[in-house]
Amino acid sequence: MAVFSLGAATVMLGLAYGTRGLIGTRKNFLAAIAPHAKTILGVGLIVVGLAIVLHFDRMAEGWAVENLPAWLVDLSVSI
């Protein structure tokens, strides 16, 4: 468990440092969309919810299984 937690923490730490630099370079853009962030997130969640209710997620999964390479499908199923 300790090795697993160290591995997970290492990934989180890498993401934290990487995004800190990215956020710093995009500060003006993020400040411009901040007032609209809740609306954008809400609309996105409604779209995803409707897609699940209308079974578009299953259609997308079927398309992916038919069109993606076999090694990628096998990898995703084995995880």
Structure confidence by residue, pLDDT tens digits, 58-69: 999 999 989 999
State if pTM tops 0.85. no
Mean pLDDT of the chain: 90
Residue 57 belongs to domain spanning: 2-78
Q: What percent of the chain has pLDDT over 70?
A: 99
Question: Phi/psi of residue 68, each to 5°?
Answer: -80, 155
Q: Is the dihedral of CA 53, 56, 60, 65 positive or negative?
A: positive
Tell me 63's DSSP state.
Answer: H
Least confident stretch, 3-12, 21-30, 38-47: 21-30
